[in-house]
Structure 1
Amino acid sequence: MTTPCRIIFSWLFLAFAGSIAAKGRREPQTWPPTDWLLQSLVQSVPAQLAKFDAKTGRFQAKNWQAKNQNVIFPLAAAWQLASKANPYHGDEALLAVISKAGEALTEAQDENGGWPVTAGGRSQRLSGTYSRWIRAYMLVKDHLPPASRQKWEQGLQRGFAAMHKEAADNIRGSTAQAAAALYAAGMAFNKPDWRERANQTFAAIAAAQAPDGFWRSRDRERPGPSLMHNLMMLDALGLYYSLSKNDAVLNAMERGALLHNALLWPDGSVAAAFDAVLPYRTTKNLGNIGFSWTAAGRGFLLRQTAAEYNGKRAIDLDYAAAMLIHGGSGTGVAAPSKDFLSDDRQMQKRRLGDWHVCLSAYTAAPSNRRWRLDRQNCFDLFHKDLGMTVGGGNGKNQPRWSNFTFGDLEKPTAAADNNGQPQSLRWTPTAAKLSPPDQAPAVDLTYGDDAAQVTMTPQTDGSMELAYTLTKPPTVPAAAHVPLLRRSGFVRLGNGERWRPGLEQRTFTGREVGGWLEWNGLRLEFPAEATLHWPEPPSPSTTGTPVSPGDLAQCRLVLTLPFSAKTLRQTVIVRSRPPVPATAKTFAAAKLPVVSPSATQIITQADQAAVVLCATAVGEAMTFTFTVPDAGNYELLADLILGNDHGIVTIAVNDHVLGKPFDTYAQERDSSGPMPLGKLTLDAGPKQLKITVTGKNRQAKKYLVGIKAFYLVKS
């Protein structure tokens, strides 16, 4: 195998290790899909064993933290679960690893059962690690060597005794996780008082849940719900119920499952405008064992894991082990898809034709805490074909992610100056109010003495109008901001320029670019006085460190709309403009016959459904055979893979080269989106499309070539 292809295969293994070929499977109607979960668990074991240091008993010993030992529970599950498909059941070598790993936790404890989180830092009792340690103990205790079992019990009882003594009374995710672990320890060591303390905690947790399923923070710096907080609560409830079978918490788990279903966008990702901890992510919320104990929760799990189950990738080993050991089972019921209004009327999620909006009226002053996001963005806009388009949750010290700003954007500080003067820039509202559910979506926002409103109005042509309005002329510089989530491929500007958002900082005016842009299906129309800014990361560096390639996915292309004494209202139009017409003939590369005239290796890249030529030099090529259904004049478009190891290519149909050489180099992995290459006249019948390497960018590492699809658009 050539070196570039070794690298490609290595990359594929690391990024998609555990990919399961499951052709022909039918989606399960009941939970859990045991065979799939077990397969996910079993095939993850070798990678974990490779990280184990037999001398110390530590996983990833070089940069060790106690949480590295969390894999002790899934390994114990793999050892305990009996199945013909599980070669690790009862395996003595695996048991020896588990035994030594538990001893390592005891050896690293201080007198209160804590572990150092960082070198020289304060020790902490990590509830997640204790939870997995005690659950592993319950699975293997009777099979541990006597001396090892004694050491395990010494460490576990030391930690849980301190945990019981210092048990918190607050309603937090970490408290719930600790209480579930304490209940398990109370069972394992026959400590009724430990179990009772956990019972009290979960009674309080169930009582504190709002009827809509939220647990709302009482922290002034983070009012309102947090997805992470709610998920931690449900996970702890699921573990607690699996051990206690206390039916008093079933309703809390059901309400939580219904809530999380209501927060989903059509693609399975989750709304984020209301969240002060997590911005929007394209990844799916896959749930946890707290969902598995109710029919509504199991329906959520079936929906959210369907893509993984159907063969795209294996599930995380900790998730698989928890579901197999502590999860519930039964039929899943799909929750109805409907609009959502939170119990405190501070959040809405609504469908407006092909558009979906999430509105939030939760407000808070910016916090100095690192993980507290600024409540600056009151809405997210999602489209059924485009995905998340505008908004995408909140950032940190990033005014351009805000709906409005009042003050100097060059001085983004929320702190008063040394003389106690007002802050130089206001970007988080001090109050907010949502429009009633029977009216057009709108949020009224107050910024001290200034008031503003943003409204979302569907248009008859299927587009969405976003209107930003001030109630009075501003006394300081004021602007509205429209953050666009990063999309794959190139931005097409109204002035004809094609530009790919990368590491280079760019600023455009609406007048310069012709008042519109298109970006992989999204079209935005805006006034001449607007400005576009790229890249705007979630939290700008305070030291001037530039954005790295790995940061680009979370950056926003922000449209800024200025206000003045004469301009109190600004509007933009957002619409779906498919980059390829519905009438186009699509040829998926992975489904076509392909050969390499240069005998270069060709592979299929599973993550992007792309075909990759492992080229090492200029002149290497691959040729696809396809059939033109009807004679006529066509335009050819191609969706190529971009990356830091990709070369410059030409594309020809039946030896007719189209357009200019195309540079597929990019600093991070991406796709070009459908790019127009040129027009040609074709008769019906078989044709050949040839992609040839003609060079490489001087920054490119290799000459690789990748293509997802090409399209014929009939003139």
Structure 2
Amino acid sequence: MTDHTRQTGAGEVRMTSAAVSYWFAGNILDEFPKFDPTTGRFMEGEGWAVTNQDIMLGMAYLYKTGYSGNRLYRDAGLLEKIGRTGDALRDFQYPDGKVEFVKVDGSKWGPIYMPWSMYHWLETYRMIESDLDEPRQARWKEGLLLAYEGIDRELRELLARQAADPARQVVHNIPAWNAMALHRAALLFARPDWKQTGEQMIRLTLNEQHEDGFWPEHHGPTTLYNLVYIHALGLYHRHGGRLDVLPALEKALRFHERFTYPDGSRVETVDGRTKYDAHPSPMGLVGFTLVPCGEGYARSLIRLAIQRGIRWKGAHLADLLQHWNVEPETGEQPSLFEQPAAAEELARSMMVKRNGWYVVLSAFTAEKVESRWGQDRQSFIGVWQEQAGLIVGGGNSKEQPEWSTFELKTADGGHYYVPDAGQVDLDRSEAKLVYGPRTLTVRLQTLTQKSVQLAFAADLDEADSAVVHIPLQLHLHQPLRGGDGAEIRLTDQALELTGERGGHSLRHGSWLLELEGPYRLDWPSYPFNPYAADGAAHLAEAVAVLTLPLEPGMERVVSLSTIRE
């Protein structure tokens, strides 16, 4: 820790704008060895992605901000590096202003007006325009005008489709982001027609928000992409947008306060698109800090990122630091996230936070989607503990019954693993999920300082074949121990453990799982990864699947408890 981010108590980081900026600067400086001076690209080994250039906005913020101890303020070498970073985007543009969507693995996803990179380039241009030499200034402006002419054209096409068919769904996180960016570009380049287009899409975006605080994608909430809408609306407001976005941001904060794990990571259990990511994100904070309780929530996530050694280096934190003073004010309202205990129901899901545990039971069901980007809503339980982190959960997959909380086969040949309907009851601490002719009940039976117990039961017929699947988060650096105490070192090789009658236990890291009756544990189970061209997932995304046979009149109980490592 430097003086700018020194700790003031047990794990508590001193929160000032200078301290956070200093930490942010260190994260950006650590990326400089990745800079290729020949191309101006920030590389990932031999690979490169267009979005790698987004770091330019963070660099521009440091160049323009004279906080105490900022050695990068007005630094000529930094200005040149920023210039080369933007040049790399201009060099990569097609004649119509699009860029090829390339990823660091070398895969190509087609030409696009890359929304994030175009905006961060635009905002960098706004910040340092007067510092750029005339040829570079003119070349950047030309590239940005090409990009935003195209973005305006694409948004107008979407709006025309919606006008022709009012039931047509055109609101999505990318158009929402582009609407904000086009509104910003309209102000910078004196294009009132762009402003009108942007505000039309912003209005539609506000109208499409669910009352529970999320924007549906693939029929339901996504805790990750919801942040894109929030960030876009926050910037739109801070850029002087005339539409009132604050009620939408208040509802969105209510959703995220409840579905953020206590370590700042997003609850993937209610997310129909993305998998679990252990890191808190700066995305959305520029919007949250506009509403009551949102400043405390944002400050908590920043503090957790610093304490956990997470290296925010992206442009989203630069957006926030330009517009918000990190120092807390007297009388500030605390957020629900800051409370050590809570029990809430929202978005057909319930969360219980108490005694260092966080448990979520979801009943947000939805039909399968054909798009690669939407997963099957099939996994409905998350269990997190303050020492162990996420124990049960990980997200959803596609066409993989083993990732489903319940799998049912009936005598007539029916096979069900994505439920048709569901409901939660906070008073009874349970979720009911309907799979064709049967209903599974998942109940949070107990939650104490030491342990959590989950109970599973279903209204089965004698001819049914039914199992419960519980995804467990395992870590390669920690062994797995069975009931006999023998250590099993985890690798990428397949592992299967089984048990029949009697009591069984599995120990991993700081948690112990206990159950009665037959089980099977399979490691590793890889989910479908929509962000890879071939759908292949990395080992870090794999889970161990605990499978429990379920019979008529039977209740299966799983106990999770904490232990000393």
**TM-score, reference length from structure 1:** 0.67
Distance in 2, matches of 1:86 and 1:431, equals 55
> Does residue 33 in structure 1 map to residue 37 in structure 2?
no
Which amino acid in the other structure matches residue 91 of structure 1? D
CA contact (8 A) 2:5 2:20 kept: no
Distance in 2, matches of 1:44 and 1:521, equals 30
Match of 2:277 among 272, 281, 284: 281
Distance 1:19 1:483, change over 3 A: farther
- Write the deviation string for residues 635-694 of structure 1: whole angstroms up to 9, x where unpaired: xxxxxxxxxxxxxxxxxxxxxxxxxxxxxxxxxxxxxxx3xxxxxxxxxxxxxxxxxxxx
Distance 1:224 1:423, change over 3 A: farther
Paired position in structure 2 for 1:271: 267
Paired position in structure 2 for 1:646: none
Distance 1:304 1:59, change over 3 A: closer
Which amino acid in the other structure matches residue 372 of structure 1? G
- Secondary structure class of the residue paired with 1:458: strand
Distance in 1, matches of 2:472 and 2:41, equals 44
Match of 1:483 among 471, 478, 503: 471
Distance in 1, matches of 2:504 and 2:302, equals 41
- Write the deviation string for residues 225-278 of structure 1: whole angstroms up to 9, x where unpaired: 001221001111121122115471122223222321111233333322211112
Paired position in structure 1 for 2:72: 88
Distance in 2, matches of 1:293 and 1:304, equals 15
Query: Which of the two has greater helix per residue?
Result: 2
Structure 1 window deviating more from structure 2 (460-469 vs 18-27): it is 18-27
What's the C-alpha RMSD, in Å, of the aligned pairs? 3.5
Paired position in structure 2 for 1:359: 361
Distance in 1, matches of 2:321 and 2:546, equals 48
Paired position in structure 2 for 1:501: 490
Distance in 2, matches of 1:425 and 1:186, equals 53
CA contact (8 A) 2:392 2:473 kept: yes
- Write the deviation string for residues 489-517 of structure 1: whole angstroms up to 9, x where unpaired: 33332234332333332322223895223
CA contact (8 A) 1:340 1:350 kept: yes
Query: Which of the two has greater strand per residue?
Result: 1
Distance 1:309 1:281, change over 3 A: closer
Paired position in structure 1 for 2:319: 322
- Write the deviation string for residues 597-642 of structure 1: whole angstroms up to 9, x where unpaired: xxxxxxxxxxxxxxxxxxxxxxxxxxxxxxxxxxxxxxxxxxxxxx
CA contact (8 A) 1:19 1:312 kept: no
> Does residue 428 in structure 1 map to residue 425 in structure 2?
no
**TM-score, reference length from structure 2:** 0.84
CA contact (8 A) 2:262 2:386 kept: yes
Distance in 1, matches of 2:501 and 2:553, equals 23
Q: 1:298: how far off?
A: 1.1
Q: 1:389: how far off?
A: 2.8
The correspondence of residues 92-107 of structure 1 with structure 2, limited to 5 A, is 92-107=76-91
CA contact (8 A) 2:384 2:392 kept: yes
- Secondary structure class of the residue paired with 2:71: coil
CA contact (8 A) 1:483 1:558 kept: yes
Distance in 2, matches of 1:366 and 1:54, equals 47
Match of 2:116 among 122, 128, 152: 128
Q: 1:48: how far off?
A: 4.4
Paired position in structure 1 for 2:554: 569
Q: 1:393: how far off?
A: 2.8
Q: 1:67: how far off?
A: 2.4
Match of 1:340 among 336, 344, 351: 344
Distance 1:47 1:501, change over 3 A: closer
Match of 1:536 among 521, 525, 530: 525
Distance in 1, matches of 2:174 and 2:273, equals 15
Q: 1:372: how far off?
A: 2.2
Match of 2:227 among 218, 224, 231: 231
- Secondary structure class of the residue paired with 1:244: coil
CA contact (8 A) 1:31 1:292 kept: no
Distance in 2, matches of 1:126 and 1:140, equals 21
Q: Please list every run of 5 or more consecutive structure 2 residues that lacks an aligned counterpart in the other structure.
A: 160-169
Distance in 1, matches of 2:247 and 2:550, equals 49
Q: 1:132: how far off?
A: 0.6
Paired position in structure 2 for 1:517: 506
Which amino acid in the other structure matches residue 357 of structure 1? V
Q: 1:122: how far off?
A: 2.7
Which amino acid in the other structure matches residue 572 of structure 1? V
Match of 2:55 among 71, 74, 78: 71
> Does residue 241 in structure 1 map to residue 237 in structure 2?
yes
CA contact (8 A) 2:113 2:150 kept: no
Percent of pairs with identical residues: 25
CA contact (8 A) 1:457 1:464 kept: yes
Paired position in structure 2 for 1:558: 545
Structure 1 window deviating more from structure 2 (205-214 vs 512-521): it is 512-521
Q: Please list every run of 5 or more consecutive structure 1 residues that lacks an aligned counterpart in the other structure.
A: 1-17, 409-421, 580-673, 675-715
Paired position in structure 1 for 2:43: 60
Q: 1:84: how far off?
A: 4.6
Which amino acid in the other structure matches residue 343 of structure 2? D
Q: 1:112: how far off?
A: 2.4
- Secondary structure class of the residue paired with 1:371: coil
Q: 1:355: how far off?
A: 4.7
Paired position in structure 1 for 2:395: 393
Structure with the greater alpha carbon radius of gyration: 1
Distance 1:32 1:162, change over 3 A: farther
Paired position in structure 1 for 2:379: 377
CA contact (8 A) 1:507 1:532 kept: yes
> Does residue 445 in structure 1 map to residue 433 in structure 2?
yes
- Secondary structure class of the residue paired with 2:397: coil
Distance 1:469 1:303, change over 3 A: same
Distance 1:563 1:312, change over 3 A: closer
Which amino acid in the other structure matches residue 374 of structure 2? R
- Secondary structure class of the residue paired with 2:77: helix
Distance in 1, matches of 2:202 and 2:529, equals 40
- Secondary structure class of the residue paired with 2:500: helix
Distance in 2, matches of 1:381 and 1:46, equals 36
Paired position in structure 2 for 1:194: 194
Distance 1:323 1:121, change over 3 A: closer
Distance 1:498 1:24, change over 3 A: closer
- Write the deviation string for residues 496-551 of structure 1: whole angstroms up to 9, x where unpaired: 4332333332322223895223333433232332222222233499xxx9x99x61
Structure 1 window deviating more from structure 2 (530-539 vs 349-358): it is 349-358
Distance 1:381 1:82, change over 3 A: closer
Match of 2:407 among 405, 408, 426: 405
Q: 1:131: how far off?
A: 0.4
CA contact (8 A) 2:28 2:59 kept: yes
Which amino acid in the other structure matches residue 38 of structure 1? S
How many residue pairs get aligned? The number is 534
Which amino acid in the other structure matches residue 299 of structure 2? L
- Secondary structure class of the residue paired with 1:538: coil
Distance in 2, matches of 1:311 and 1:563, equals 40
CA contact (8 A) 1:37 1:320 kept: no
Q: 1:309: how far off?
A: 4.1
Distance 1:460 1:379, change over 3 A: closer
- Write the deviation string for residues 175-214 of structure 1: whole angstroms up to 9, x where unpaired: 1211121111111111122122222222332333234322
- Write the deviation string for residues 295-341 of structure 1: whole angstroms up to 9, x where unpaired: 42210111122244458455325244222224466635321343222
Q: 1:127: how far off?
A: 0.9
CA contact (8 A) 2:223 2:267 kept: no
- Write the deviation string for residues 572-619 of structure 1: whole angstroms up to 9, x where unpaired: 23132423xxxxxxxxxxxxxxxxxxxxxxxxxxxxxxxxxxxxxxxx
Distance in 1, matches of 2:78 and 2:244, equals 38
